[in-house]
Amino acid sequence: MSKKIFAINAGSSSLKFQLLSMPDESLLVKGIFEKIGLKEGIFKIEFEGQKEKELLAIPSHQFAVDYLLNFLLERKLIASLDEIDGVGHRVAHGGESFDDSALIDKQVLSIIEKLSFLAPSHNPVNLVGIRAFQKALPETGQVAVFDTAFHQSLSESYYLYPLSWDYYHKYGLRKYGFHGTSHKYIAQKVKEIWEGQGEAAEHLKIINCHLGNGASICAIKNSQSVNTSMGFTPLAGLMMGSRSGDIDPMILPFLLEQEKLSAQQLSDVLNKESGLLAISQLSNDLRDVLEACDRGDEKASLAVNMFVNRIAQTIASYITDLDGLDALVFTAGIGENSALIRSLVVQKLNCLGLSLNQAANEQGQLFIQNSQSQAKILILPTNEELMIAQDTMRLLDFK
């Protein structure tokens, strides 16, 4: 029997939503509320082949949730609120408390709140979204799906930093990793593809490249995360749209002293003023940077080269973590859509036996390796909302 499941991602001034019919995985409704808390908010929604956009004051997340549910009722997209069978919420940080998604109760809410010091920009607003849906749908089961949970399988030798144990015990200073819902989804899809082709899938060695404005790579073995490029925060690892990724840590106290920056100003430099934006001096959007490359812009070309270098270096090191490789996957906005970035990355990995079929790459086919490649190379669209809905179904025990 089909169930209607919401997948929700609450931001500080936004609320993204999808309503899916499960288990057939059909998308019924999707949209977003933007500029929540400001005078002129935006409500965008897509359903039954239609797109609508409204400009209105959206004073709170609670208002947005109530408005959405009323909209669905008025348009007869649902007959009653009882048709909503479950709500899955993206929650940024589960710390060491959650190695899986969790059915939301008072204890889970309390732990999410306590972990807010690890994700002060995200967990509190995730909680606001959860409470808004709990108030609007008090009898409906709610599930928290944590960005960090998939990476709780990392061993100590991968998640610990070479710092005093005191910092780990006092503050939980360790690698947590993010984009876990996307990495888990891709691991699941690759396994399904292998099984569908009649190939052994239980010991698959996968490297998944989630490349968007935020970017991370994950080494996956036996469907478990072995290593991942993001760390204590999503700033670590790869160069990103406006994030620096890994840099020499002593740059931080140096900048604090020389530039007389506050901690918040330094955080803004690293998170909002670095990466592709800083090096290209143009944009945090790779598409803009690539257009500038076509015009012969040297800084744009340098930014792309640095971006590609970091990705290739990380993939190469993760092959050693996995002791081999079966599948290299490109996903998310850049990974799925930029044939050039895929080509440049794999070109750097030719020495490790990876090589592309350029025509398949340009056409965006599922498999893009050539016959000489030592591992399969795939383009796979990620679907975090579907993963949230699947976990919600599982935890609410819907068959």
With CA atoms as reference, report the closest residue to 43 among 62, 72, 68.
68
CB neighbourhood size of 105 (10 A): 9
> Distance from CA of residue 214 to its chain's centroid?
8
CA distance 182 to 31: 19
DSSP per-residue codes, 301-355: HHHHHHHHHHHHHHHHHHHHHHTS-SEEEEEHHHHHH-HHHHHHHHHHTGGGT--
DSSP per-residue codes, 48-92: TTEEEEEEE----HHHHHHHHHHHHHHTTSSSSGGGEEEEEEEES
Catalytic residue among 147, 248, 285, 391: 147
CA distance 150 to 109: 19
> Distance from CA of residue 53 to its chain's centroid?
26
Distance spanning both ends of the chain, measured CA to CA: 8
The answer to whether 148 touches 184, Cβ cutoff 8 Å, is no
Is 147 labeled as catalytic in the residue annotation? yes
The answer to whether 368 touches 360, Cβ cutoff 8 Å, is yes
Q: Which residues are catalytic?
A: 147
